[in-house]
Amino acid sequence: MIYELLPDASHIEEDEELLFDAVLIEFDGYAEVSFFSPDADYRQQPGAPEVIEFVGNLEHAAWLDHIGTAPQGFLLISKRMVRVLESVRPFRYRLIPAVIYSEKIAHLVRDPVKKRRTWYQVEDPTLRNDDFVILQLVDQFDCLDRDRTMVGGVPFRQTGREYLSSDRAEHLELRAPEGGFPPVFFVPELLFYCFTEEAKQACDKAGLKGLWWRPQP
């Protein structure tokens, strides 16, 4: 079984100020910066800071291992989760540094109008969380079977589409490479990272929190 990983937001109450666990402190060009494709090196993307900063609920972050972010949906996971995935099988990736500042000081670290980072520095460890990183894969697997993957009752090859989201396929067929897939992998035609059954089981066994697994048909 192959899964898409989504953040579990069931712990967020409707009356909470933040409807996501972390909101990006915007920077110049943030809307064009992508950490999804293996070909996109964030260090070469104009405007991308060395550390991606967020404002969020630190009480939630303290027990979560996967955090939903806005307005960009980055794959923000705990360093512990990276170690769990590596324990399944080695794979190649980039880890992009991230920090989450307490929503209590949102007005100090983020300009309320421009939504950009202010000069205010946060040294107090109770007001920041440095335990998360953005995961970016650096390998890709050309493994989609375009004839056996079905979309709208016809093979994907016949649809004329270049990309496929997780909720569009009626059946997803992948050709496993020799030796099998790594725990998480990138397929060029898919708009999501794929996680293996072994990866899910390892995360479940480790008691990781904040993970919602969407199985692929």
Q: Three-state secondary structure along 89-135?
A: CCCCEEEEEEEEEEHHHHHHHECCCCCEECCCCCCCHHHEECCEEEE
The pLDDT value given to residue 18: 58
Closest CA to 133 of 96, 184, 177, 87: 96
The pLDDT value given to residue 171: 92
pLDDT tens track of the chain, all 217 residues?
A: 999 999 998 887 665 555 788 999 999 888 888 788 898 877 676 667 889 999 999 999 999 999 999 888 889 999 999 999 999 999 999 999 999 999 999 999 999 998 899 999 999 999 999 999 999 999 999 999 999 999 989 999 998 889 988 777 889 999 999 989 999 999 999 999 999 999 999 999 999 999 999 999 8
Burial of 66 (0-12, 13-18, 19+ CB in 10 A): buried
Separation in Å, CA 85 to CA 80, 95, 160, 197, 198: 9, 13, 35, 11, 9
CA distance 123 to 191: 37
The pLDDT value given to residue 99: 98
Domain presence at residue 52: yes
CB 7 within 8 A of CB 192: no
CA distance 210 to 60: 9
The pLDDT value given to residue 57: 92
Asked if residue 82 and residue 53 are part of one domain, the reply reads: yes
CB contact burial 107-117 (16+ within 10 A = b; e otherwise): ebbbeeeeeeb
Domain presence at residue 119: yes
Asked if residue 116 and residue 55 are part of one domain, the reply reads: yes
The pLDDT value given to residue 210: 95
What is the chain's alpha carbon radius of gyration, rounded to the nearest angstrom?
Answer: 18
**73: CB partners within 8 A, 6+ apart:** none
Vertex 130: Cα angle to 126 and 131 (nearest 5): 110
CA distance 111 to 204: 39
The pLDDT value given to residue 14: 60
Domain boundary among 115, 137, 159: 137
Domain presence at residue 3: no
The pLDDT value given to residue 17: 53
Q: What range defines the domain where residue 198 resides?
A: 150-215
Domain presence at residue 44: yes
The pLDDT value given to residue 194: 97
Count how many domains the chain has. Answer: 2
Domain boundary among 137, 169, 194: 137
